[in-house]
Structure 1
Amino acid sequence: MSHPAERSASPALLGAPQHRQQTGTENLVTVDVRADDLVSQTGMTNLLRSSPKIRIQNKSDDPAAVIVLVVDALDEARLDTLRTIRRTTSAHLMLVVTHLEAHQIAEAAECGVLGILRRGQITSHHQLVDAVKTVGSGLGYLPADLQGALLGQIGRLYQSHRQSEALTVFALMKLSQREREVLRDLSHGHEIAEIAERQNFSVRTVKYTLHGVTGRYQLRNRTHAVGMALRKGLI
């Protein structure tokens, strides 16, 4: 049976603390804080420096993993600054901004920004550190309200794109003789069965004809198809 002192000197036990220390070093995020004024830069630097997981880079150090840009507003000059940083460094970009419009979130993302915080929303250094660590890992960081604003903007852009795409399709709208006859009868108030009898078609053929028009031109329903054909002067 081994002596207790021998067990305490085993390689596994001696190696464990060294492994934990190495892991802590690997998780360290190096940060370069840049601001419009010295007060903002000093305040943001002190908040980040309070965390053992953050190391503020000096000018003589290697390039930082994260660049935190502190600005009052995201004007065109600041957007140019972000574009320059993206072109000249591989660092992840984080923006801390006082005033931000909803449409500027996408503009910042286009310039390479991964994380955004409003200065007025920073309630503790923990929140700021969590944001920087997230960005440092290559992931995006947005508070809940900015996520909602971004999703709303994306939805509006998508809807605008779909409407523009639909107008282009409608501009090329053409109808066969059968489609014109069916839509014309429909515009006069005739039911499907009546149209089938008038045109000597089966009810199934009439439905298939209408389905073809609405599907081909991304129309919502038969009424939409009739209205579009009338506006285009096709019936």
Structure 2
Amino acid sequence: MTGNGTADGDATATEGGGDAGPVTVFLVDDHALFRAGVRTELEQISDRVAVAGEAGSVREAITGIARTRPQVVLLDVHMPDGGGAEVLRQLRPELPEVVFLALSVSDAAEDVIAVIRGGARGYVTKTISSDELVDAVLRVAEGDAVFSPRLAGFVLDAFADRPGAAPVSDPELDVLTVREREVLRLLARGYAYKEIASELFISVKTVETHVSSVLRKTQLSNRYELSRWASDRRLV
């Protein structure tokens, strides 16, 4: 482990999981002392977990995780050059087999929902005990979802269709303007550009401009992907 947070791979990751060996874990946190403590705890408590590498920034995490292909990533939510949601955004499409477990000092609802929407399998706070952390790593590696007790309610509220559910901010959705959301909602419902223009009293050219902007901001490539993206966020 290096003190400056540079990603390293002193254990070889095992692709595909299974019973071939210990669960390989990659640590992402901008505090080197915290990473060192977690590494020590994980490796001393259980021979079922092995640290594959670590990183202290989003950039280092993306490089290190892609190189070592760990089974589980312990992911900090807030870092100087971004956070867990950004790591997920860049890596989840390319490494669907890697499981992400958020490990953060924050227990804010918006932080929990941001990383869960990004594809994390669970979220635990840094008050977790060493034994509980090992158990959480093993459980998510086996396909379970793991949350610190009070955080599970945030997820249920955000994804449940029930009165009184607390509205939770979606960082990806928040980058769209009100008009872009209106265009996206109609597009996802199957409206043609001409029909959208008529519905919103704007020109077809303006509709095309809004759609291009939404595609750029969401980093999607076609209408089908936009429709699925909008449906996942209940815009339709």
Normalising by structure 2, we get a TM-score of 0.49
Normalising by structure 1, we get a TM-score of 0.49
Larger RCO (alpha carbons 8 Å, 6+ apart): 2
Larger of the two Rg values belongs to structure: 1
